[in-house]
A and B are shown apart, each in its own frame.
Chain A
Amino acid sequence: MNWRHVHLIYLREMRDQLRDRRTLFTITVLPLLLYPLLGMLMMQVAQFKRDQSVRVRVVGIEHWPKDAGLVETTQSLDGFARLTAELEREIGSESVEIHPDAWPVDGSVDHVVTLARQSLTTSDFDAILIVEPEFEKLLADRRAKVKDLPPQPSSDPPESSNSSTTSSTATSEDVLSSGVETDSPGLQVVANMARDRSQLAVRRLQNVLRVWQQRWVSQELSAAGINPVLVEPLAVKQNDTSETSMRRAMLWAKILPFIMLVWALTGAFYPAIDLCAGEKERGTLETLLSSPARRREIVWGKLFTVATFSMLSALLNLLSMHMTAGFIVEQLASQGTPQLAEAFGRLPIHAFGWLVLLLVPMSAFFSALALAVAALARSTKEGQYYLMPLLLFTLPLVTMPMIPSLDLTLATSMVPVSGAIFLVRALIEGRITEACIHLPVVFGVTAICCLLAIRWAVRQFESESVMFSESERWNLQSWIRQVWRDRGAVASPSEATLCGLIILVAMFFSQFIAGPSTLAWETLAQRAVVTQIGLILTPCLLMAIFLTRSMRQALRIHPVPIDQIAAAIVLALALHPSYVLLGQAIAGTIQIGTETQRVLETVARLINAQPLWAVLLVLAVLPAVCEELTYRGFIFGGLLRNNGVLRAVLMSSLFFGLAHSFLQQSIAATLMGVLLGVIAWRTGSVVCTMLIHVINNSLSVSLGWISDRQVALPEAAEWFISIDQGQWHYQPAWITFSVVLSLAMLAILWRRTPAAERLAEAELV
Chain B
Amino acid sequence: MIEVVELTKAYPDSISGTFKALDCVSFQAKPGEIFGLLGPNGAGKTTALRILSTVLRPTSGIARINGFDVTTHPDEVRHCIGFVSCNTAIYDRMTAWEMVEYFGRLYGIPKDRLSERMHRVFEDLSMMDYRDIAGGRMSTGMRQKVSIARAIVHDPPVLIFDEASLGLDVLVARALLGIIDQLREQGKCIIFSTHVMREVERLCDRVAILYRGRILASGTLAELAEQYQQHDFEELFFSLLNDSDRDRKAAVAEALKSLSTNGAGS
Q: Which residues of A contact B (CB under 8 A)?
A: 4-5, 8-9, 12, 15-16, 19-20, 282-284, 286-287, 289-294, 464, 468, 472, 474-475, 478-479, 482, 485-486
- B132: Cβ under 8 A from any A Cβ: no
Select the residue from B54, B89, B106 with max chain A CB neighbours within 10 A.
B106
**B70-112 interface bits toward A, Cβ cutoff 8 Å, 1 = contact, 0 = none:** 0000010011010101011111111000000011011110000
- CB contact between B87 and one of A16, A283, A478 (< 8 Å): that residue: A283
Query: Do A282 and B92 touch across chains, with their CB atoms under 8 A apart?
Result: yes
- B17: Cβ under 8 A from any A Cβ: yes
User: How close is B7's CB to chain A, nearest CB, in angstroms?
Assistant: 15
Query: Do A287 and B14 touch across chains, with their CB atoms under 8 A apart?
Result: no
**B52-68 interface bits toward A, Cβ cutoff 8 Å, 1 = contact, 0 = none:** 01111100000000000
Query: Do B106 and A291 touch across chains, with their CB atoms under 8 A apart?
Result: yes
- B12: Cβ under 8 A from any A Cβ: yes
User: How close is A18's CB to chain B, nearest CB, in angstroms?
Assistant: 9
- B171: Cβ under 8 A from any A Cβ: no
Query: Do B91 and A290 touch across chains, with their CB atoms under 8 A apart?
Result: no
Query: Do B14 and A464 touch across chains, with their CB atoms under 8 A apart?
Result: no
- B264: Cβ under 8 A from any A Cβ: no
- CB contact between A290 and one of B12, B14, B54, B90 (< 8 Å): that residue: B54
Query: What is the bound-complex CA distance between A478 and B15, given in angstroms?
Result: 7
- CB contact between B106 and one of A284, A292, A475 (< 8 Å): that residue: A292
What residues of chain B lie closer than 8 Å to A482, measured between beta carbons? Answer: 12, 14, 17
Query: What is the bound-complex CA distance between A711 and B56, given in angstroms?
Result: 69
Can you list 21 A-B pairs, Cβ within 8 angstroms, ordered by A?
A8-B105, A8-B106, A9-B106, A15-B93, A16-B93, A16-B94, A20-B93, A283-B87, A283-B89, A284-B89, A286-B88, A290-B54, A291-B78, A291-B103, A292-B75, A292-B106, A292-B108, A464-B56, A482-B17, A485-B17, A486-B12
Query: Do B92 and A294 touch across chains, with their CB atoms under 8 A apart?
Result: no
A290-B93 in contact given A468-B56, A485-B17, A486-B12 (Cβ < 8 Å): no
- CB contact between A286 and one of B78, B87, B102 (< 8 Å): that residue: B87
Select the residue from A15, A291, A482 with max chain B CB neighbours within 10 A.
A291
What residues of chain A lie closer than 8 Å to B102, measured between beta carbons? Answer: 8, 12
What residues of chain A lie closer than 8 Å to B14, measured between beta carbons? Answer: 472, 474-475, 478-479, 482
Query: Do A282 and B89 touch across chains, with their CB atoms under 8 A apart?
Result: yes
- CB contact between B91 and one of A9, A16, A289, A464 (< 8 Å): that residue: A16
Query: What is the bound-complex CA distance between A482 and B17, given in angstroms?
Result: 7
What residues of chain A lie closer than 8 Å to B83, measured between beta carbons? Answer: 290
Interface size class of B (residues with CB under 8 A): 20 to 34
A5-B88 in contact given A290-B54, A482-B14 (Cβ < 8 Å): no
Q: Which residues of B contact A (CB under 8 A)?
A: 12, 14-15, 17, 50, 53-57, 75, 78-79, 81, 83, 85, 87-94, 102-103, 105-108, 147, 150
Query: Do B106 and A290 touch across chains, with their CB atoms under 8 A apart?
Result: no
What residues of chain B lie closer than 8 Å to A486, measured between beta carbons? Answer: 12, 17
What residues of chain A lie closer than 8 Å to B56, measured between beta carbons? Answer: 464, 468
Query: Do A289 and B55 touch across chains, with their CB atoms under 8 A apart?
Result: yes
* Nearest-CB residue, chain A, relative to B82: A290
* Nearest-CB residue, chain B, relative to A18: B93
* Nearest-CB residue, chain B, relative to A481: B14
What residues of chain B lie closer than 8 Å to A15, measured between beta carbons? Answer: 93-94
Query: What is the bound-complex CA distance between A744 and B102, given in angstroms?
Result: 55
A292-B53 in contact given A284-B90, A475-B14, A482-B14 (Cβ < 8 Å): no
Query: Do B107 and A287 touch across chains, with their CB atoms under 8 A apart?
Result: no
User: How close is B160's CB to chain A, nearest CB, in angstroms?
Assistant: 9
Select the residue from B14, B54, B87 with max chain A CB neighbours within 10 A.
B14
* Nearest-CB residue, chain A, relative to B56: A464
* Nearest-CB residue, chain B, relative to A19: B93
User: How close is A161's CB to chain B, nearest CB, in angstroms?
Assistant: 70
A287-B53 in contact given A8-B105, A292-B108 (Cβ < 8 Å): no
* Nearest-CB residue, chain B, relative to A472: B14
Query: What is the bound-complex CA distance between A464 and B47, given in angstroms?
Result: 12
What residues of chain B lie closer than 8 Å to A478, measured between beta carbons? Answer: 14-15
What residues of chain A lie closer than 8 Å to B106, measured between beta carbons? Answer: 5, 8-9, 291-293
What residues of chain B lie closer than 8 Å to A468, measured between beta carbons? Answer: 55-56
- CB contact between B79 and one of A19, A284, A292 (< 8 Å): that residue: A292
Query: Do A290 and B78 touch across chains, with their CB atoms under 8 A apart?
Result: yes
* Nearest-CB residue, chain A, relative to B88: A287
A287-B89 in contact given A8-B105, A16-B94, A292-B79 (Cβ < 8 Å): yes
What residues of chain A lie closer than 8 Å to B94, measured between beta carbons? Answer: 12, 15-16
User: How close is B75's CB to chain A, nearest CB, in angstroms?
Assistant: 7
Query: What is the bound-complex CA distance between A12 and B100, given in angstroms?
Result: 12
Query: What is the bound-complex CA distance between A294 and B73, given in angstroms?
Result: 12
What residues of chain B lie closer than 8 Å to A287, measured between beta carbons? Answer: 88-90, 147, 150
Query: What is the bound-complex CA distance between A8 and B103, given in angstroms?
Result: 9
User: How close is B190's CB to chain A, nearest CB, in angstroms?
Assistant: 16
- CB contact between A283 and one of B12, B75, B88, B103 (< 8 Å): that residue: B88
Query: Do B55 and A290 touch across chains, with their CB atoms under 8 A apart?
Result: yes
Query: Do A294 and B75 touch across chains, with their CB atoms under 8 A apart?
Result: yes
Given A12-B102, A290-B83, A485-B17, 20 other A-B contacts at CB below 8 A? A5-B106, A8-B102, A282-B89, A282-B91, A286-B85, A287-B88, A287-B90, A287-B147, A290-B53, A290-B55, A290-B78, A290-B88, A291-B107, A293-B106, A464-B56, A464-B57, A468-B55, A482-B17, A486-B12, A486-B17
Query: What is the bound-complex CA distance between A292 and B80, given in angstroms?
Result: 10
What residues of chain A lie closer than 8 Å to B105, measured between beta carbons? Answer: 8
User: How close is A487's CB to chain B, nearest CB, in angstroms?
Assistant: 12
* Nearest-CB residue, chain A, relative to B103: A291
Query: What is the bound-complex CA distance between A283 and B144, given in angstroms?
Result: 13
Query: What is the bound-complex CA distance between A479 and B12, given in angstroms?
Result: 12
What residues of chain A lie closer than 8 Å to B89, measured between beta carbons? Answer: 282-284, 287
What residues of chain B lie closer than 8 Å to A485, measured between beta carbons? Answer: 17
